[in-house]
């Protein structure tokens, strides 16, 4: 509201000021001025302003402004000055009335037609002012020459205003087009950079899978008391080092592409749950599955232990994605129960067989195989269990049947509030 009042005030003041840049073509107080052009430009430029109100305000202010000028210069008494300049208000009011009635702004898409119509408006408004002056006793004779002058000035003023308006609009659109072009170029560079980083991520994924297998083999040999070649441990260390270098390079590349801000070390549980959901929405999309993800986390709690919780939740939600054949739903629900944070992950997947339920947290146990028939490493849930135990919490399979599987995490809140990540 304040902005509209300010715009109206500026417009009517500019109209009055430029109205003094004038010529008097008929040896009378009637004038052609830049004020009419400024007024016309304001009406078509400020779509949010009501034309009729602007016309009435501008007409009244112009009369007052000119009377005050006459008083300051001593050219005429107040009454004489008022009757001399009052007809000028008819120009602005009649002009605004017609602009409002015909919705002139719709014609601005067709500049030539708008110019013709604007010239007609200007001619008609000048004729209204001259008629009022004639009725008030000013001598004026309608001649062919006077009509030609009115028409020429109307055409000149109209097309000048329409031309300036379209020049400014063109400049504006050129600026928008240039900004959009720069944004598209920036996005193209980001896309190109992301495409390059994808190769390193894919390489790292394959290396990590291989490292996981080798690590589990080493673990199995040690458990069984078999002799382990030192080279096996060195092999794992070398590949972990290579993955680390690849991840550092990808991180540096992505940080440069997106203009990385410093990462928060402390996150609210609600935001952390949202990150897990968003990440696995992308995972499901990549896997070609149609899964509805929802989460409710009305928990006013923040923690420094972001990465361990992300690891556990991502593991469980990713398992839920893999357990759903093609379409389904996953819901993540967090709540505070006494002095514990309880998080449940529910999915509509195929479920876990009753005979397998007791083994799912054991290292190496798996029911998942890739497209080549190779089994999964089976240490994801074991890792999740170990993390939960480090928080003095626990993870459990609440229920599992075709169409409904529920995992529950229970973590003491005092563990989450401890300083320092794990």
Q: Encode pLDDT of 265-318 as tens digits.
A: 678 999 889 989 998 998 899 889 999 999 999 888 998 888 888 888 988 998
Angle at which helices 51-73 and 2-18 cross, to 10°: 50
Mean pLDDT over 25-41 rounds to 84
Q: What is the pLDDT of residue 242?
A: 76
Pure H helices in 225-305:
230-258, 269-286
Report in angstroms the alpha-carbon separations of 408 from 88, 282, 352, 388: 81, 23, 15, 11
Q: What is the pLDDT of residue 295?
A: 92
Q: Quick one: which of 275, 308, 264 has its CA closest to 422?
A: 308
Q: Which of 135-149, 179-193, 243-257, 352-366 has the highest mean pLDDT?
A: 135-149
C-beta separation of 335 from 299 below 8 A: yes
Q: What is the pLDDT of residue 328?
A: 94
Q: What is the pLDDT of residue 420?
A: 57
DSSP 405: E
Task: Read off the tokens for 273.
Answer: 């749950």
Task: Read off the tokens for 400.
Answer: 């599992």
Element (H, E) at 267: strand 267-268
Residue 280: how many CA atoms within 13 Å on its side-chain side?
31
Q: What is the pLDDT of residue 376?
A: 54
Query: Would you place residue 200 in the very low, low, confident or very high pLDDT band (cuts 50, 70, 90)?
Result: low
pLDDT in tens, 365-398: 665 545 444 545 556 788 888 889 989 999 999 9
Share of the chain above pLDDT 70, in %: 86
| Residue 96: Cβ-neighbour burial (10 angstroms; 0-12, 13-18, 19+) | buried
Query: Would you place residue 409 in the very low, low, confident or very high pLDDT band (cuts 50, 70, 90)?
Result: very high
Query: Would you place residue 47 in the very low, low, confident or very high pLDDT band (cuts 50, 70, 90)?
Result: low
Angle at which helices 34-45 and 111-135 cross, to 10°: 130
Return mean pLDDT, the chain. Answer: 82
Higher-pLDDT residue of 406 and 4 is 406
421 pLDDT higher than 60? no
d(CA 2, CA 8): 10
Higher-pLDDT residue of 254 and 205 is 205
Pairing of strands 394-401, 22-23: unpaired
Q: How far is CA 180 from the centre of its chain?
A: 14
Q: What is the pLDDT of residue 197?
A: 63
């Amino acid at each position: 509201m304040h902005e509209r009042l300010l715009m109206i005030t500026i417009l009517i003041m500019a109209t009055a000021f430029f109205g003094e840049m004038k010529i008097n073509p008929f040896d009378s107080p009637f004038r052609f001025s830049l004020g009419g052009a400024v007024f016309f430009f304001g009406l078509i430029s400020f779509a949010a302003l009501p034309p009729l109100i602007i016309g009435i305000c501008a007409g009244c202010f112009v009369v007052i402004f000119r009377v005050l000028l006459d008083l300051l210069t001593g050219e005429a008494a107040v009454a004489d000055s008022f009757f001399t300049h009052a007809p000028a208000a008819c120009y602005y009011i009649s002009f605004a009335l017609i602009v409002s009635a015909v919705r002139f702004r719709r014609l601005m898409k067709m500049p030539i037609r708008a110019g013709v119509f604007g010239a007609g408006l200007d001619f008609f408004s000048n004729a209204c002012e001259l008629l009022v002056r004639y009725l008030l006793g000013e001598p004026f004779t309608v001649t062919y020459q006077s009509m030609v002058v009115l028409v020429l000035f109307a055409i000149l003023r109209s097309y000048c205003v329409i031309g300036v308006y379209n020049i400014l609009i063109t400049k504006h659109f050129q600026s928008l087009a240039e900004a959009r072009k720069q944004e598209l170029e920036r996005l193209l560079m980001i896309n190109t950079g992301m495409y390059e980083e994808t190769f390193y991520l894919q390489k790292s994924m394959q290396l990590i899978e291989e490292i996981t297998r080798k690590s589990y083999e080493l673990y199995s040999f040690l458990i069984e008391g078999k002799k382990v070649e030192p080279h096996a441990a060195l092999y794992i260390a070398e590949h972990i080092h290579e993955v680390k270098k690849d991840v550092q390079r990808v991180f540096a590349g992505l940080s440069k592409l997106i203009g990385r801000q410093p990462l928060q070390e402390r996150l609210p549980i609600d935001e952390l749950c949202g990150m897990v959901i968003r990440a696995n929405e992308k995972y499901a999309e990549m896997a070609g599955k149609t899964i509805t993800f929802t989460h409710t986390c009305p928990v006013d709690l923040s923690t420094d232990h972001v990465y361990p919780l992300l690891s556990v939740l991502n593991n469980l939600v990713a398992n839920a994605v893999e357990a759903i054949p093609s379409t389904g739903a996953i819901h993540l629900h967090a709540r505070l129960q006494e002095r514990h944070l309880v998080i449940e992950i529910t999915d509509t997947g195929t479920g876990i067989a009753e005979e397998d339920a007791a083994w799912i947290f054991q290292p190496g146990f798996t029911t998942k195989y890739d497209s080549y028939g190779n089994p999964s490493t089976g240490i994801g849930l074991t890792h999740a269990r170990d993390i939960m135990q480090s928080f003095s919490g626990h993870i459990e399979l609440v229920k599992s049947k075709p169409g409904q599987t529920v995992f529950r995490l229970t973590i003491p809140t005092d563990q989450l509030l401890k300083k320092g990540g794990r």
